[in-house]
Structure 1
Amino acid sequence: MLTRIYKSGQGKYTRLCSGFAVAAVVAFGCWRLYQRLGATDLNLWVVSLVPVGVFAGLAGLIYWLLNKPSVADFMIAAEGELKKVNWSSRREVAVSTVVVIIVVVFMAALLGTTDLVFQMVFGYLLG
């Protein structure tokens, strides 16, 4: 019962990627815990086994959460919605990026010119 995957054929990639992402965060946290414990004068077994135990416990929790019906149904629905999205083509993304860069450069030049004019006006009035 605990090892059965809820709706195993549905939402596979969403659950798999989410699980790996959370496991990577947990692994990084356990690595930092190992480093912190290594800086103390604890026994090597304690320094090594505590992070491994924390990782194993949290990995089990991740597995349980990803197979919990409410979470799994949400992930399945999210993957279904992502399949409905009409993604932009490479050309549309490139053109939009160029437009954004041009607008940002133009606004930076406009704001820089305005700042320079205000500096000159207030320098003349105050100085």
Structure 2
Amino acid sequence: MSKDLTQSGTAGSPLMSELFHSAVYKPTQGRIVRQLTALAIFVIVALGCWRLYTFLPGMMNNAVVARSIAGVLLAAGLWFGFRLVNWPRFADFLIAVEAEMNKVTWPSKDELIRAAIVVIFTIFFLAITLFAFDVIWQFIFSSVGVTS
């Protein structure tokens, strides 16, 4: 047995070697979580490239070069995001996340409202209690002369 075997039994290849493949790893499993993760990566890369594109023309005189740099980084980032969600180690993790999320029992609307009300009242109660302790200790320390 190889040391690089993961728990699922697939060979754990390094991410750098996976960047040059185009196959989709286990395409029918964990699709929703993988698609949402890829979308999040794509949005982050696109916003970063947009920010870079708006920053570069101020630093260099050639707008075509600035567009080219941002475009190349955008294409590389999108490809990296696509390959990352198809990297066997990360894809197996995302597949397991979706499997666990399918096991979750979500609360009903009434149960959610009741729980939210309990949390909000608990936070207010704790805030008032901490404020009262602060005022009491401030009074005690100022009457003893520790603080002015």
**Count of equivalent residues:** 127
AA paired with 1:82?
A: M
8 Å Cα contact 2:60/2:66 also seen in 1? no
Provide the rounded CA distance (Å) in 2 between the counterparts of 1:116 and 1:26: 49
* CA spacing shift, 1:19–1:124, aligned 2, 3 Å: same
Query: 2:69 pairs with 50, 61, 68, which one?
Result: 50
Identity among equivalent positions (%) equals 33
- What TM-score comes out, normalization by structure 2 length? 0.75
8 Å Cα contact 2:24/2:86 also seen in 1? yes
Provide the rounded CA distance (Å) in 1 between the counterparts of 2:55 and 2:133: 52
Aligned to 1:13: 32
Matched, 1:104 2:123: yes
Provide the rounded CA distance (Å) in 2 between the counterparts of 1:16 and 1:109: 44
Question: Aligned with 1:39: secondary structure?
Answer: helix
Greater percentage in helix:
1
Matched, 1:118 2:137: yes
Question: Aligned with 2:59: secondary structure?
Answer: coil
Greater RCO (CA < 8 Å, at least 6 residues apart):
1
AA paired with 2:114?
A: V
Give unpaired runs (5+ residues) of structure 1: none
Aligned to 2:87: 68
Deviation at 1:45, TM superposition (A): 0.8
Q: Please give the root-mean-square deviation of Cα atoms over the aligned residues, in Å.
A: 2.1
Deviation at 1:30, TM superposition (A): 0.6
AA paired with 2:35?
A: L
